[in-house]
Each structure stands twice: as structure tokens, then as C-alpha cells.
Chains A and B, each alone.
Chain A
Amino acid sequence: DVKVTQSSRYLVKRTGEKVFLECVQDMDHENMFWYRQDPGLGLRLIYFSYDVKMKEKGDIPEGYSVSREKKERFSLILESASTNQTSMYLCASSSGAGRDYNEQFFGPGTRLTVL
């Protein structure tokens, strides 16, 4: 059974804190993604990675960084959390690209509140 897990379902942090969101997949997928989901805005891509130690900016990378030291793990880092980063964060993984693109599998999400 394919699985993408995220370290927390709910997280509350204070403004200025450094926040780590962890994502692990057990499907040996090359590609991993971080999205944020906000009401009325849908899913927006923050960063993705197509290989270990590789990363690409998505549509809204400002205020975020990522780390992929192992194939199965992709971390999203909020260097200095701000209230406008309060959101639902979704991690996903997939295999293939271009002509061989396959569907993304999603984790359960982390609802982050920054006070």
C-alpha cells in the first residue's frame, strides 16, 4: 500500500520560530513536492525535488527552503515563521516526468498555525 506520511497533522508555532515539516514516502519515488493549500486559492507549489539533493522552486518559494538528503525524505523549512504562513501544507511524491508522468500521491497534510 503506497504511503506518504507527514510528521504532524497539527502544529502551532510562534512568529519568528524556525519550523521544520517532514515528509516521508515509501514508494521509492524520485519526485517529491511541497504545496500549501489556502481557501479560494487551491493548491500552490512551493518547492519540488526530482532527485536527492536537487530542488526546484515552485510558484511561491519565498520564505521557505527545502532539504532532500535521502530519497525517501523531503523537508520543508520555514526559516522565520510569519502569520501569513498559517496554512495547510501538503506533501506529495511521484515517479516519472514528461511523457512518462505518473500521478502524485499525497500525504494527510499538516495544518500549521503561526501565532
Chain B
Amino acid sequence: AQKVTQAQTEISVVEKEDVTLDCVYETRDTTYYLFWYKQPPSGELVFLIRRNSFDEQNEISGRYSWNFQKSTSSFNFTITASQVVDSAVYFCALSEGYSGAGSYQLTFGKGTKLSVIP
């Protein structure tokens, strides 16, 4: 069965520090997708990134970067020079399967609450 683990329940950093949010996944499939979502205090989940299992290139988008390593089944998320607006709960998620009900679903980790202190 697929599983996503976000071991860090809560993290606090001071503004301008870098912070890495960890995500470890389990799957038996060779084709799968990984996602990161942000949930600010307003409550609405915001999509950040999708990565498929065939593309291990790291990605950078402004202050955000993602490190995908199949060898360790990890898809970690780093925020550089954190800002107060980065305070949110961040979820890592996995989808897998070619067909059937599982191919539509996302399995979410329990989330990491990030607090950026001014």
C-alpha cells in the first residue's frame, strides 16, 4: 500500500532562515506522481508542484526548491530565506497506479506546520 510520511509535525524558524520539510514515501509502482501543497491559515490548499517518477531533476521556483531522490524515496522541500507569509501547513502527497480506483487518488502525509517568526 502506498504511504507518505512527514516526520516533522511542527517547525519554527526565524525569518530569513532556510528550512527543509521532509517527505518520505512508499510505493510498489514504478510510475507515480508526487505533490506538495500549502495550506495557509485561511484553509484553502494551494498546489505547489507535481513531479513524476521518471523525472529526478531537482526543481527551483523562486525561493522554493524540491529535491527528489528515488534511492531514498524522498521528496524534500526547501524554502530559502523564509518569510512570515510562508507560515502554513505543508502537505506532501502521492498518486500511483495505471488504472482502477487508486489511479485517481492522492495519499497525503499528515502535514508539517511551519511557523516563521519575524
Q: Which residues of A contact B (CB under 8 A)?
A: 31, 33, 40-43, 45, 48, 50, 56, 58, 88, 90, 92, 94, 97-99, 101-109
B-side contacts of A58, CB under 8 Å: 105
- Contact status of A98 and B99, CB under 8 A, knowing A43-B91, A104-B47, A108-B42: yes
- Stretch from B20-28, B78-86, B108-116 contacting the other chain: B108-116
From B97, B104, B108, give the contact of A31 (CB < 8 A).
Answer: B104
From B42, B106, B110, give the contact of A104 (CB < 8 A).
Answer: B106
Main secondary structure of the interface of B (DSSP, over half): loop
Check B103–A103 contact: CB distance below 8 A. no
Check B47–A105 contact: CB distance below 8 A. yes
Check A56–B101 contact: CB distance below 8 A. yes
The complex places the Cα of A89 from the Cα of B7 at a distance, in Å, of 24
